[in-house]
């Protein structure tokens, strides 16, 4: 069942180009987006996205998309906080619940709360027969296929894809994306499986770096814009399976505290495609290097040309359409966690203390 791979997680990481391609084919047709009836974001005042764990980080990326591509005010929350805070919900709002299993207790409770309060609830799930799919007004399957590894990988990138498609639809509905712009964004999405294949080509290099990372006590992840949630996801993945303490920060937050942690033994992994915020991230990275932090810069050819000097290591990603960079950069984040765990000899598919689906609080 592992198809020759040592772990389900390795198989599920490697599957992503094919799986994402399949998910794209479900929602992106030659002449545009193909979504279930009843999804129209035109008159909304606000969108709320609720989830737990990795699914929450997918929501945190999507917030950038809904705000930038559709100018739709967007709140995100972890389900365990949302459900007990019982926040007021504007009548003209929708709420989206993101969950691989569709059974996570807190997310399901948040969905039930919103079913009474908002115009429409939408479940973005991998299991189409799940409680959330049944109880939400609308269900959108992410088409990732069965995910066995406790550490979520292909479900994360497929959650991102589904949310990207929804954000594009919102942009069109709200008049912020023209037909020409939509066509360009869809090209950007269609290019992803090929780019992911290229990214998977860094696996051996990452395995080499992981030997060193496995010796660390603490590892920091940095990113800006939509790469900030990816930094948090990278840290979650790493701590989950390698048991190394890791934190994801917005690059700009570094000098507000975490920079005090920097010393020779602390690796700092920076996700920084050459986007409009690149120079800002580089200056944060230089602050780390000035304090002898070991920087691993993950960027594209242009970014590496401009900013490799003084880093401990670099990883080259192909160029990617700017908004969708987190979908591609998820792969090195997953591979770094995977190979570090393998180097430490942990139980990658069944990490201690964790369950695949958290159906009790
Ligand atoms: O099934 P769900 O997507 O609702 O699960 C949410 C989290 O429990 C899950 O993403 C968890 O954080 C993963 N183990 C992360 O790899």
C-beta of 152 in contact with ligand 1 (< 6 A): yes
pLDDT above 90 covers a percentage of the chain that reads: 92
Query: Is residue 358 very low, low, confident or very high in pLDDT (cuts 50, 70, 90)?
Result: confident
Whether 107 is in the pocket of ligand 1, judged by its Cβ within 6 Å, is: yes
- How confident is the model over 134-140, as a mean pLDDT? 97
pLDDT at 356: 83
Rounded to an integer, the average pLDDT of 208-213 is 97
Q: For residue 3, what are the CA distances in angstroms to 126, 148, 158, 200, 331?
A: 21, 13, 21, 17, 19
Q: Is the pTM of this model over 0.80?
A: yes
* ipTM of the prediction: 0.98
Residue at token pair 């990207």: 164
- Among 13, 52, 230, 354, the mutation site with the greatest number of ligand 1 atoms within 8 A of its Cβ is 52
Q: If you take atom 4 of ligand 1, which residue's CA is the nearest one?
A: 99
pLDDT per position as a tens digit, 290-345: 999 999 999 999 999 999 999 999 999 999 999 999 999 999 999 999 999 999 99
Which of 100, 135, 354 to mutate to test ligand 1, by most ligand atoms within 8 A of the CB atom? 100
CB atoms within 10 A of CB 309: 7
Q: How far is the CA of 239 from the centre of ligand 1 (A)?
A: 14
pLDDT of residue 185: 97
* % pLDDT > 70, the chain: 100
How confident is the model over 58-89, as pLDDT tens digits? 999 999 999 999 999 999 999 999 999 999 99
Atom of ligand 1 nearest to the CA of 104: 4
Nearest to 236 by CA among 315, 120, 351, 88: 351
């Amino acid at each position: 069942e592992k198809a020759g791979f040592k772990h389900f997680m390795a198989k599920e990481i490697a599957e992503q180009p094919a799986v994402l391609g399949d998910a794209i084919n479900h929602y992106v047709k030659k002449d545009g987006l193909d979504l279930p009836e009843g999804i129209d974001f035109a008159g909304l005042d606000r969108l709320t996205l609720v989830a737990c764990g990795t699914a929450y980080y997918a929501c945190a990326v999507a917030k950038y998309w809904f705000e930038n591509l559709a100018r739709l005010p967007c709140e995100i929350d972890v389900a365990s906080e949302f459900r007990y805070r019982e926040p007021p919900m504007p009548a003209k709002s929708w709420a989206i619940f993101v969950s691989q299993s569709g059974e996570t207790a807190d997310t399901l409770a948040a969905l039930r709360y919103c079913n009474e309060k908002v115009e429409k609830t939408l479940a973005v799930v991998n299991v189409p027969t799940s409680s959330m799919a049944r109880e939400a007004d609308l269900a959108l399957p992410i088409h990732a296929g069965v995910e066995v590894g406790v550490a979520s990988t292909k479900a994360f990138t497929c959650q991102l894809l589904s949310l990207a498609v929804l954000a594009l639809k919102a942009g069109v509905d709200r008049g912020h994306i023209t037909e020409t712009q939509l066509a360009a964004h869809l090209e950007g999405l269609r290019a992803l499986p090929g780019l992911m294949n290229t990214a998977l080509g860094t696996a051996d290099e990452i395995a080499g770096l992981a030997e060193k990372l496995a010796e660390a006590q603490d590892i920091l992840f940095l990113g800006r814009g939509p790469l900030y949630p990816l930094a948090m996801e990278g840290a979650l993945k790493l701590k989950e399976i390698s048991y190394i303490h890791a934190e994801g920060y917005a690059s700009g937050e570094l000098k507000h505290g975490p920079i005090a942690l920097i010393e020779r033994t602390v690796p700092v992994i920076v996700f920084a495609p050459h986007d409009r915020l690149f120079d800002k991230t580089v200056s944060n990275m230089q602050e780390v290097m000035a304090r002898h932090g070991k920087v691993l810069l993950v960027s594209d050819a242009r970014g590496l040309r401009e900013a490799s000097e003084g880093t401990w290591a670099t990883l080259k990603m192909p160029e990617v359409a700017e908004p969708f960079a987190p979908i591609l950069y998820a792969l090195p984040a997953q591979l770094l966690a995977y190979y570090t765990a393998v180097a430490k000899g942990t139980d990658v598919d069944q990490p201690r203390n964790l369950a695949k689906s958290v159906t009790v609080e």
